[in-house]
Structure 1
Amino acid sequence: MRYTPHFLLEDAAEVKRLIRENPWATIVSNTAAGLVASHYPVILEDTADDVISIVSHVGRPDEQLHELGQHETLVIVQGPHGYISPNWYPEGQIIPTWNHVTAHLYGTPEILSDDENFRVLGELVDHFEQRMPEPVSLQLDDAGARGVARGTVGIRMRVARFDARLKLSQNKGPEVVDRIIDALESGDVYSNPALAEEMKRVHPR
């Protein structure tokens, strides 16, 4: 990402929050055959505050296409984002922008054993099912679920480094920020409440 010091996100806890709230990730690998990208859900492992470790799975043969475990991989996590109109700026300011919360995570994935992969698959299901009134679990059909799991490969990536941005109008004055938040929360055009909430986190009123 473009180097913009005033938008840098360097707090590992905030990156973890971004992953937790936006688990649909893009996995990018630079392989012998060229660039490969795939999209899968990821969840965080329980680690020390300054350590980021994610687990997921890929469908076969994506682990071969990505050459997982053989080199560094990029995982992109994208939070709320949206267009910011100069209509919300003072008169005479005409350059629009795009606000966003984004993290690039780098590391070399570890291929999980079949048993650990099945455990991670179960955790993925349990993680997303916990909000449901009657959560479904792989334990309801262990044998059938294990059969399906054979078509997947589990991965763990301990993040060696990350490059993250919170670009949320930090370069604008309080009155302009308030107008942008109001427009994103309740405007008729480009309404984006999730982005407004992110802005309120860095611009407390």
Structure 2
Amino acid sequence: MYVPKSFQQSDPAILAELIQREPFGLLLHVADGAPFGSHVPFLFDADDGPHGTLIGHLARANPQANLSPNAPVTVIFSGPHAYISPRWYAEPETVPTWNFLAVHAQGTWQPITDRNESLAVLSRLTNHFESSADHPWTFDPTSPLAEKLVQAIVSFRIPVTSMQGKWKLSQNQPHLRWQRVVTELEQSSRDNDTDLAAWMRRFPPAE
């Protein structure tokens, strides 16, 4: 993706943080000259491989589940985003924009064909996404339901080969404009806006 220098984010820990906070990604590949995408929840294992590994599963009926091993894929993750009004700048000759965070992860498709490994992926995903619950639901890999499920899905790994981050957070604006944007977002009733403001506080314009 196009990333101006002022919006570049390359710190692996920060990129991993966004993926872990916003794990619902868009899995893309090119088929017959056209892009094909699936919206998928991912688990990101930052310690598996040089750049980490994405783990998930697809419905077996999904054409993407039949990708050849080692096929190149891209996964896109989006963080909080919001419209930025020129009204907030209180200055003439300004225009609207949109602030956002995004990570593009490139990697290779690795389908998991072993039944037990696929069940382990389902257990791992469930445990991860249930971890914040007071009384988490548990996946029983020995149950008849698990047997039906493992036949209906394809689990996969995507070892990441590179990641690119775009943190468009008004860092290219004078500090006073940036501060006005943060203040407006913090006063919003929308969680998405206040989440974006918190990210902006972490990455202010260079003095």
For normalisation by structure 2, the TM-score amounts to 0.89
Cα–Cα, structure 1 residues 9 and 190, in superposed 2: closer, same or farther, change >3 Å? same
**5+ long unaligned stretches in structure 1:** none
Cα–Cα, structure 1 residues 50 and 101, in superposed 2: closer, same or farther, change >3 Å? farther
Q: Pick which of 145-154 and 57-66 moved more.
A: 57-66
2:82 matches 1:82: yes
Distance 2:191 2:150 in 1: 41
Q: CA deviation at 1:137?
A: 0.6
Partner AA of 1:71 in structure 2: A
Cα–Cα, structure 1 residues 187 and 134, in superposed 2: closer, same or farther, change >3 Å? closer
2:167 matches 1:166: yes
Q: Which 4+ stretches in 1 moved above 6 angstroms?
A: 188-191
CA contact (8 A) 2:19 2:77 kept: yes
The alignment partner of 2:2 has SS state of coil
Q: CA deviation at 1:201?
A: 1.3
The percentage of counterpart residues that share the same residue type is 28
2:162 matches 1:196: no
Cα–Cα, structure 1 residues 115 and 32, in superposed 2: closer, same or farther, change >3 Å? farther
CA contact (8 A) 1:63 1:153 kept: no
Partner AA of 2:127 in structure 1: D
1:69-108 CA-partner distances (Å, limit 9, x unpaired): 2521110011111111111114113211111110111111
2:140 alignment counterpart: 139
Q: CA deviation at 1:143?
A: 2.9
Aligned length: 204
2:92 matches 1:92: yes
For normalisation by structure 1, the TM-score amounts to 0.90
Distance 1:46 1:142 in 2: 30
Distance 1:49 1:170 in 2: 32
Q: CA deviation at 1:42?
A: 0.2
**5+ long unaligned stretches in structure 2:** none
The alignment partner of 2:200 has SS state of helix
2:106 alignment counterpart: 106
Compute the RMSD of aligned alpha carbons: 2.4
Q: CA deviation at 1:146?
A: 2.7
